[in-house]
Structure 1
């Protein structure tokens, strides 16, 4: 897969989910936007979990670990370049390493992810309201 294919396939999903890593808690509008984009991609919860853990967290967690962080907002163009570069290299031992350490890279946003997945399940009718 090349860079353009990645952007075409995942770009809008990655950018929609990026606010999970911002300094502020996502609002209702943020969650609604994330769910809208997720629904367009028709992904299972398991597929979404791996996107969260392997495709997004290794790049976005770095923003949260900086002392003078840039995590009040993201430069979408710069972020997309970082995500594409990471995902183009995500194979073999790199994929296994990120899978192994994904608990560390997702722990600061896990509560937000769980909230998003609960909301998604309600929208999909997979959970009682």
Structure 2
């Protein structure tokens, strides 16, 4: 897949989910927007989990840890460049390595992700215990 295809396929979703890594809790409006965008993409919860763990967390967690990180907001263009670059290289051993370490890269935002997935399930009329 080339960079433009990645942006076309995932860009909107990536940018919608990026606030999970900001230094503030997402607002009701943030969560509502994330759910709306997720619904447009018609992805399973399993697919969303792997997007969170492999496509987003390695890039956003690294920025979150940096001292110079700007965590009130994002530069969408720069963020998209970083995400595309990471995801174009996400093959073979890199993919396996990020999968292995995804618990660490998602640790800081897992509670927000769980809240979002509960909202997505509610929107879809799914039970969290099904």
Q: TM-score band (shorter)?
A: over 0.9
Q: Is 1:93 aligned to residue 93 of structure 2?
A: yes
Q: Is 1:2 aligned to residue 2 of structure 2?
A: yes
1:42 maps to 42
Normalised by the length of structure 1, the TM-score is: 0.97
1:76 maps to 76
Give the total of aligned pairs.
Answer: 128
Normalised by the length of structure 2, the TM-score is: 0.96
Runs of 5+ unmatched residues, structure 2: none
Runs of 5+ unmatched residues, structure 1: none
Deviation of 1:67 after TM superposition, in Å, equals 2.1
Deviation of 1:43 after TM superposition, in Å, equals 0.2
Whole-Å Cα distance in 2 between the matches of residues 103 and 80 of structure 1?
23
Deviation of 1:127 after TM superposition, in Å, equals 2.2
Whole-Å Cα distance in 1 between the matches of residues 37 and 106 of structure 2?
21
Q: Is 1:117 aligned to residue 128 of structure 2?
A: no
Deviation of 1:89 after TM superposition, in Å, equals 0.2
2:24 maps to 24
- RMSD (Å) for aligned C-alpha atoms: 0.9
SS at match of 1:15: helix
SS at match of 2:126: coil
1:126 maps to 126
Whole-Å Cα distance in 1 between the matches of residues 23 and 114 of structure 2?
17
